[in-house]
Amino acid sequence: MASRQDVENLMLSTGELTISSHSGSHCPLCRILGETRLTLSSEKGLLKVRLESEDVQKSLKEQMAKCYGNRRQQLIPGRKVKKQGKKIKIQEYYILGQNVATSDILELVELLLERDYPNVAIFDGSIAGRVGPIFVPESYLPKKPKVVDPDITQNIKEQFPEDKKLLGDIKQTEGDLLERQVYNALRLHFKSRSHEDVLIIQGIELVKIGGARGKDVHELDFLIVNFTHQYVLNIEVKKWLGQIQGKPENITDKAGEQLESNKELFEDWFGADLKGKWRYFSALFCLDMEQLLKDCIHCKDFIATSQQELLIILDFVEKVKFQYFLIF
């Protein structure tokens, strides 16, 4: 009779085994990277119903107001302000053009979906490939587009060593270049998969429903939701994974906490809406990592340091046939 180890080795070789937890390992990412059990629950109710609550609507409007509000005098939608001795109640409207406007956020979402992604608006899963791969945004958007030449950043640092804002922009640009590699790899991967219905989002921000206003906002570097293969993949991008010399924080720990928070937030948002045998994966992309991660037989399969390695991860995720969790 074959031993459990023999069975596990066979399943690994055929792509049918996913290790989600390994308490015997000292690696901090073993229980986080790769496939982890997706917790779906209808306890909190459907997302659309939850978003209709007055508190959530107010929180969303305040979050949106940060993008267009006057910074000198932040106007909070629905709040009365004094002007020349009179109280004025602010009523916001969202103008979409072509004589279309609304003051309701949920209606705004539906209108934008119908305008920009009509195939998604009518998608019900009955016709495979009807939507195809959708990238949001349609081309890569850097967070700091002003810094365009990475080859001269070192000279700039030496010329302006005290300019903290400029140095911060340069640091963000280095992160932008890494994210661009991931975006291009995703484009390459899904280029030949026009028959798949999949959503690829760069830099999506999810707000914790019912969380503290102005806080509890999580940005996910990349979120892939593949309806055809029924998987969700979160990819976070880091320049380095490990201890930073001279500093107490460890980027590996922070990356793990970020991936866990992202998964919990995704479950909170969509736990009552997802139907079927959905699977959830977490992966990392970096330039280099500490030796501990390089030596971990599980984690190294879900940490990419090049576009080619990321393409291998994407292929593996699609080929996994069923869940098999190892808990030690």
- pLDDT tens per residue across span 109-165: 899 999 989 988 888 878 877 899 999 999 888 876 666 566 677 777 777 778 777
Flag whether pLDDT at 97 surpasses 50.
Answer: yes
Residue ranges of domains in the chain: 4-38+126-319
Dist CA 133 CA 120 (whole Å): 11
Flag whether pLDDT at 44 surpasses 70.
Answer: yes
Angle at 320 between CA 282 and CA 43, to 5 degrees: 60
Dist CA 269 CA 276 (whole Å): 16
Q: Which residues pair with 274 in a beta bridge?
A: none
Per-residue model confidence (pLDDT) at position 279: 94
User: Are 221 and 203 within 8 A, CB to CB?
Assistant: yes
End-to-end CA distance of the chain: 22
Dist CA 230 CA 322 (whole Å): 11
Residue with tokens 């085994």: 17
Dist CA 81 CA 73 (whole Å): 10
Residue with tokens 């707000």: 207
| Local confidence band at 80 (pLDDT 50, 70, 90 cut-offs) | low
Flag whether pLDDT at 72 surpasses 60.
Answer: no
